[in-house]
Amino acid sequence: MATTDEILTTPARMRELDRAAIRDYLIPGLILMENAAAGIAGYVLDRGRGLLGPERSVLVVCGKGSNGGDGFAVARKLHMGGCGVIVLVLAAREEIGGDAKTNLSICDRLGLNLIFATEATVRDVLPFCLARAELVVDAIFGTGFRGRPEGLYEIAIRAINESNKKVVSVDAPSGLDGLTGIAAGVCIRADVTLALGLKKIGLLSGPDAGLAGQIELIDIGIPAELTDGDDEKDIRLVTDGAVRALLPERRPDAHKGDFGKIMIVTGSPGMTGAGCLAAEAALTAGAGLVYLAVPGSLSQIYETAVKEAITLCAGSNVDRTISSESADAIAGFSGRMDAVAVGPGLSANQDTLRAVRKLLAAVQKPLVIDADALNAVAGDVAVLSRLKAPAVLTPHEGEMARLLDTAVANVSRNRLALARAFAAKWRVTLILKGHRSVIALPDGRAFINPTGNPGMATAGAGDALTGIVAAFLGAGMDAGDAAVAAAYLHGLSGDLAAKELGERSVRASDIIRCLPAALSSTAEHPAGSPARGAFAPRL
């Protein structure tokens, strides 16, 4: 398995891997279940600090399937580790079969407190169980669950959530679709989800993925030969190691021209801050030279606000925004650049949007397309087919909805699938911003970014991301590399800012201020050369 990023998979593919381990490697299902239980119990007992209190009392709530079987095995190991354990089974004894039945029988032999609940009795039994527990292990449903919990399952999940007890979910919070990250009905709110074998996509991407809480991986003994050859490995979680391997080194004899010349096309009255933030972020991310192509009447503002940037005065229209007549001149100057970012603070002026479309089709250097440039593209998406260089688009869900001419709710519920389809159709790299941003590449691969926090939902945060992407493109990174590294470091900078200030107080300027610390944390290369082109489109 790769050490620099982490394979994600679907529930269906994980079941195939389980079957292949049993069939082709002769690993009994009971052994896989035992490995899962050992990892889960070990996490709770050894690594899950703060989960267990002094009484070390645990309620394990089990369904009737294999997830419940994992729960029975976990209960046994927690009991043997000195915990007081109650096992609540949301099924009749005769409904338990297979490997789950074997582990249930072991719990019987050990004298564990087993309580079988029905819809008629669960309301009476569950409060008794919850009152005696410090921690709940949720082993009701697995990652393959689809639909809406009903009957005693709904009652149990609501009661667990209302109890405010710490919850560890086995493989997925019960009620969450492990593929889509959607909870159609009630769903466990987990403090920690312990994913078995591989992390499932729905734990990290989808409108309700946050219900999984902290996600940790449990090795259940699936042979590496199976996962390394997994067809689903093209969906990955970005890790610190992956980003560390991408960042280019700065040679001792280098000069500013070696680190990229960036042009940011920006500017309209009342929105000058957007371009300034993008420029500050690009400079902080390591760009050697940053040029701001702005309406001439506004140039003094930029020269005063960003002292290290160079302003280029573009022609403006009556609204003091960039005019369509100036597009050719800007495109001509872009030939001297290493990367071009278009969009921050440009306005919705129709003449300016025409300038943007003309410019995008003319520029022959790597592009970042953001903000008002995305709105220009939404008015004529076919302009993407006329791009002459690699492009990174950075829409939030509202902008993505406009690009697709669909509802924002549809984007929210299908982030990964829509991002991948759009990137593949138009041959662009796309960062779909939001909780766990999705980075989709033209060849179908996708990456989910784990960094970032709600404090980053603030004006200018997207402009900072644009500047970071542009800086990395200008430094010679491939579009996929630049997008992955920028999304991760942007989110990490936001996390550092939130740790310092609290989420409510984070501003875009704080994200940029914390970027050096984020870069420093990933700057040291492991032995050997950087893994350049790791996320470049396949040829």
Interval 186-237: pLDDT, tens: 999 999 999 999 999 999 999 999 999 999 999 999 998 888 755 555 899 9
Same domain, 373 and 493: yes
Residue at 365 is within a domain = yes
Band of residue 526 on the pLDDT scale cut at 50, 70, 90: very low
Per-residue pLDDT of 69-111, as tens digits, reads 999 999 999 999 999 999 999 999 999 999 999 999 999 999 9
Of all helices (H) and strands (E), which one includes residue 60? strand 57-62
Model's pTM, two decimal places? 0.90
Per-residue pLDDT of 107-164, as tens digits, reads 999 999 999 999 999 999 999 999 999 999 999 998 889 999 999 999 999 999 999 9
Distance CA 85, CA 56 (A): 9
Band of residue 47 on the pLDDT scale cut at 50, 70, 90: confident
Same domain, 364 and 230: no
Residue 310 buriedness (CB in 10 A; 0-12 / 13-18 / 19+): middle
Distance CA 509, CA 486 (A): 16
Q: What is the mean pLDDT of the chain?
A: 93
CATH of the domain at 383: 3.40.1190.20
Same domain, 274 and 159: no
Same domain, 229 and 268: no
Q: Are 344 and 264 in contact (CB under 8 A)?
A: yes
Domain count, the chain: 2
CATH of the domain at 197: 3.40.50.10260
Same domain, 164 and 27: yes
Instruction: Please give the residue range of the domain that contains residue 409.
Output: 243-247+257-522
Question: Rounded to a whole number, what is the largest CA-CA distance in the chain?
Answer: 85
Per-residue pLDDT of 389-433, as tens digits, reads 999 999 999 999 999 999 999 999 999 999 999 999 999 999 999
Same domain, 268 and 225: no
What number of residues does the chain have? 539
Same domain, 150 and 217: yes
Q: Are 173 and 190 in contact (CB under 8 A)?
A: yes
Query: Residue 195 has what DSSP assignment?
Result: E
Instruction: Report the pLDDT value the prediction gives residue 73, as an integer from 0 to 100.
Output: 98
Residue at 470 is within a domain = yes
Structure tokens at 144: 């393959």
Residue at 539 is within a domain = no
Q: Are 385 and 411 in contact (CB under 8 A)?
A: no
Instruction: Report the pLDDT value the prediction gives residue 50, as an integer from 0 to 100.
Output: 81
Band of residue 19 on the pLDDT scale cut at 50, 70, 90: very high
Residue at 535 is within a domain = no
Band of residue 53 on the pLDDT scale cut at 50, 70, 90: confident
Residue at 536 is within a domain = no
Same domain, 16 and 132: yes
Residue at 527 is within a domain = no
Q: Residue 330: what residue type?
A: I
Instruction: Report the pLDDT value the prediction gives residue 39, as an integer from 0 to 100.
Output: 97
The closest alpha carbon to 9, from 414, 418, 411, 416, belongs to 416
Residue at 91 is within a domain = yes
Question: Which DSSP string corresponds to 354-384?
Answer: HHHHHHHHH--S-EEE-THHHHHHHT-GGGG
Backbone angle region of 261, left / alpha / beta, with phi > 0 → left and psi within -120 to 50 → alpha: beta
Same domain, 458 and 345: yes
Residue at 185 is within a domain = yes
Same domain, 36 and 101: yes
Same domain, 224 and 265: no
Same domain, 210 and 273: no
